[in-house]
Structure 1
């Protein structure tokens, strides 16, 4: 849990420094570096026999991997671009709206069931985010729209992962995921890089390409994916949710201490309200998972109650 929190915070803080302070304000180029680095490392690990990759058919790749890769590229691009306009602390507050957007998208795709209780819970989260946004001193509309777009694409991506991969019974570890998704994500990012950012970089007299810093950022991003696998494998979803809360508060503190980001009392009140809503939502989801698991565990116990004659009819049917 400590490793995951550290790496997650490191990726965000390093990306913020690279894009806003190091003379490299090019989020697509930075994201391309990450995806290229992850693609190469994943390829070496798979082909070297260190990790076994899941075999993907051409149909699955076209119908599942490509859409997910496109959305992942959009999430990374828009999310990194937001660092050019907004503070890390405010971005973390906006990210608290993720469960609300995932719920709305899930209802639209019929992966989530609409209930009044959850809807009211999401209203509380949305109200908290609105209050936090109202209290932001350096509110930049473009930055907020970029971050909202990143949250939206990530929510659709998570929903598609559930629909396209889980329903097909495809389970991939982080290395296998990067092995399949990172290359197509790199291609989707490389096109806008060539036509949008590269001409600007060529004509930018203040451009500072700090290769060690870019490699450090890419290495942190790859290590973060590995730590997610470690965290989920060694703990539980509840532990990861708790760790996520600790990480968010830590990033807000680091943003204030290291980058001098102003945080008002109105923001803290709004974020606190959204935080309580998110925690209740996570608690309800975990309780729902426990109830489903308990029901599944009791189901086989009812099997002996079925008479042999009825069982034979069922088998024949």
Structure 2
């Protein structure tokens, strides 16, 4: 997915394994970083070529639905799903609400690629810890402290400075990006509250198994209202099915590498990897699309990155992952 965020996942749902070697950890990190950035850059190219962001994301989810259904029936990778309730109550009170906010997150976060560059989007995404912490406080799953509030204010200041330094500021793009962050924050916290609150565990692949069909249907309904009336088969032929198939396969690979990284390492490693991944993505955006980064943007982004790294450098307080 263009602005990719893995569907609901609980690292507690992954089996405990032997501690991997430093080389293995490095390989897992590289695999996730490469698959994530390739997915984003690949999708950015597709959007520039044909547009139709919602239909593209819906295609990813349909592909994920088919693959997870096949895996569930032919392998043991998704056997942990049998530990979850198989009832309408579970679907209506847990799967559907999280699916709705997941759909909102994907729609808003992908529309922004029509208005802002990849580099600018990654800088604005640095505000995700702010949105997640605020929503966590509102849901009562995290207690505010002076230190956390101060760190959030510094992150927000860095994002504000980076935004002020944009050469071509798009209000619509900024609104979509902030809306995407808000939806994503609600999704993350809702997943934590609903699953952990009921003592349930769900790893990434099982999360895809449950949520991909729901989000695909919701996104398709939105696409029918917004994009389908303007869809031209010439756009499809210009891209071609083999390219779309490869694109969906790359996006699915990202889900798998995300699951492996969390299962083999920890959320801390993934958070630190996410910061490094986004820095690389900004650099790639500058090289590929010749995006101009102003000194003010660099200053704001540097302030934000330092604020996100600070908890790890001091007391290892985890920071929400940047996707």
Alignment of 1:4-153 (within 5 A): 4-20=32-48, 22=49, 24-51=50-77, 52=79, 53-54=81-82, 55-56=84-85, 57-153=87-183
What does the per-residue CA deviation read over 1:113-137, in whole Å, with 9 as the maximum and x for residues that have no partner?
0112111110000000000001111
- Which of these two proteins has the greater Rg computed from alpha carbons? 1
Question: Which of 3, 24, 31 is equivalent to 1:3?
Answer: 31
Q: Which moved more, 1:49-58 or 1:97-106?
A: 49-58
What does the per-residue CA deviation read over 1:208-251, in whole Å, with 9 as the maximum and x for residues that have no partner?
34322222221121111111111112212221122111101100
Q: TM-score, normalised by structure 1?
A: 0.86
* CA distance in structure 1 between the partners assigned to 2:160 and 2:225 by the alignment: 36
Deviation at 1:287, TM superposition (A): 4.4
- After superposition, the Cα gap between the structure-2 partners of 1:162 and 1:285, relative to the gap in structure 1 and judged at 3 Å, is farther
Question: Which of 191, 209, 213 is equivalent to 1:183?
Answer: 213
- After superposition, the Cα gap between the structure-2 partners of 1:219 and 1:285, relative to the gap in structure 1 and judged at 3 Å, is farther
Alignment of 1:294-313 (within 5 A): none
Indicate conservation of the 8 Å contact 1:131/1:270, yes or no: yes
Indicate conservation of the 8 Å contact 1:95/1:151, yes or no: yes
Question: Which of 244, 252, 257 is equivalent to 2:274?
Answer: 244
Counterpart of 2:301 in structure 1 is 271
Deviation at 1:106, TM superposition (A): 0.7
Deviation at 1:283, TM superposition (A): 5.0
Indicate conservation of the 8 Å contact 1:15/1:80, yes or no: no
Counterpart of 1:171 in structure 2 is 201
Alignment of 1:148-163 (within 5 A): 148-163=178-193
* CA distance in structure 1 between the partners assigned to 2:274 and 2:167 by the alignment: 25
* CA distance in structure 2 between the partners assigned to 1:284 and 1:150 by the alignment: 30
What does the per-residue CA deviation read over 1:257-280, in whole Å, with 9 as the maximum and x for residues that have no partner?
011111111101100001111112
Indicate conservation of the 8 Å contact 1:18/1:213, yes or no: no
Alignment of 1:219-258 (within 5 A): 219-258=249-288
Deviation at 1:70, TM superposition (A): 1.0
Q: Which runs of 5+ in 1 are unaligned?
A: 290-317
- After superposition, the Cα gap between the structure-2 partners of 1:62 and 1:286, relative to the gap in structure 1 and judged at 3 Å, is farther
What does the per-residue CA deviation read over 1:54-85, in whole Å, with 9 as the maximum and x for residues that have no partner?
43332111111111111111111111111111
* CA distance in structure 2 between the partners assigned to 1:186 and 1:173 by the alignment: 19
What does the per-residue CA deviation read over 1:150-172, in whole Å, with 9 as the maximum and x for residues that have no partner?
11100000000010011112112
What does the per-residue CA deviation read over 1:31-54, in whole Å, with 9 as the maximum and x for residues that have no partner?
110110000000000011332124
Counterpart of 2:23 in structure 1 is none
